[in-house]
Amino acid sequence: MKGKSIRRITSLQATFFGLLLLIFILAMKPSLQDQSPVKRYTYLALGDSYTIGEKVNAAENFPNQVTTILKARGLNFQEPEIVAQTGLTTDELEAAIKKANLRSNYDFVNLLIGVKNKYRGRKAVDYIPEFESLLKQAIQFAGGDSSHVIVLSIPDWGVTPFAEGGDRQKIAAEIDEYNAANKLIAGKYSVYYIDITNSTREAAKDSSLLTTDGLHPSAKEYERWAKLVAEYMQSKL
């Protein structure tokens, strides 16, 4: 009888320790919530030649360089969706957005537009309402979160060889007028603003910042923009 009692106690102990081990194993397993797919961030870039990256490979335009930087930092970004084309004005970009098959919401949106308005001789006063309309759409695409929208200033093409023979000071003054307008509107809607204009003016003394056409930014210049955009986007995650 005594031997049977000891065996019964040993059996109960084994069962008890087995249950403890099972509880421990289950506790160590990831929860169903932890096993859910990792979020992939989305990014929409709206603009013209400066966004699509005229004369550079697609991977070298600044939106693609932005996601490359963020991916290298361990952030799961999808490839950017780009609505942009060389030569677009504000009204033409708006028409392009309407034709594009875009999702309703993106984690981040950036807007860079206006150089062609100025090149065609349009007044800044006419640019203002069209830019504001585009910015409102950008905010809607960002789910109404203006802090996830980025406006980039218009580059100064007046310093490039393309502008040889033109009035460079006049071009710079008009670009500044346009940028004063888009910066004011960005502030009105609490949108993050990045001034890249001064950076592009360095091309007057550094031809490596331009492509072979002597007008559009090179991958090297786009990299400088991309770093600024990526830094801000990462800070919001």
Provide the residue-wise pLDDT of the chain in tens; the chain has 237 residues: 545 554 554 555 555 555 555 555 555 555 545 555 688 999 999 999 999 999 999 999 999 999 999 999 999 999 999 999 999 999 999 999 999 999 999 999 999 999 999 999 999 999 999 999 999 999 999 999 999 999 999 999 999 999 999 999 999 999 999 999 999 999 999 999 999 999 999 999 999 999 999 999 999 999 999 999 999 999 999
**Sign, CA torsion 70/76/78/82:** negative
C-alpha torsion angle, residues 62, 67, 72, 73 (rounded to 10) = 110
pLDDT value of residue 24:
57
In this structure, are 13 and 59 located in the same domain?
no
* Same domain as 16, residue 73: no
Cα–Cα distance for residue pair 237/235, rounded to 1 Å: 6
Are 143 and 202 contained in the same domain?
yes
Give the CATH number for residue 218. Answer: 3.40.50.1110
Same domain, 66 and 29: no
Question: Which pTM was predicted?
Answer: 0.84
Domain identity same for 131 and 218: yes
Cβ burial of 72 (10 Å; 0-12, 13-18, 19+) is exposed
CA–CA dist 27, 189 (Å, integer): 47
Beta strands in the chain (DSSP E): 43-47, 81-84, 108-112, 149-152, 192-194
- Give the C-alpha separation, 126 to 100, whole Å: 25
Is residue 19 located within the same domain as residue 132? no
pLDDT at 32: 45
Handedness of CA 170, 171, 172, 176 (dihedral sign): positive
Is residue 7 located within the same domain as residue 113? no
DSSP label of 79: P
**Residue-wise pLDDT tens digits, 76-96:** 999 999 999 999 999 999 999
Shared domain for 14 and 57, answered yes or no, is no
Q: Is-contact 57 122, C-beta < 8 A?
A: no
Residue 205's SS3 state is coil
Count Cβ atoms below 10 Å from residue 92 Cβ, excluding itself. Answer: 16
Query: DSSP 3-state assignment of 67?
Result: helix
Tell me how far apart the alpha carbons of residues 208 and 199 are, in angstroms, rounded to a whole number: 13
The reply to whether 18 and 76 lie within a common domain is: no
Coarse DSSP helix, strand, coil percentages of the chain, rounded to the nearest 5 percent: 55, 10, 30
| Greatest extent of the chain over all pairs of C-alpha atoms, in Å | 113
- CA-to-CA distance for 43 and 236, rounded, in angstroms? 13
Q: What is the H or E stretch that residue 80 is in?
A: none
Q: Which domain holds residue 15?
A: 1-36
Do residues 201 and 159 make contact, with C-beta atoms less than 8 angstroms apart?
A: yes
Residues 9 and 71 in one domain: no
Q: How many domains does the chain have?
A: 2
Same domain flag for 54 and 13: no
- Report whether 208 contacts 160 (CB < 8 A): no
The pair phi, psi for residue 83, each rounded to 5°, is -115, 100
Are 31 and 47 members of one domain? no
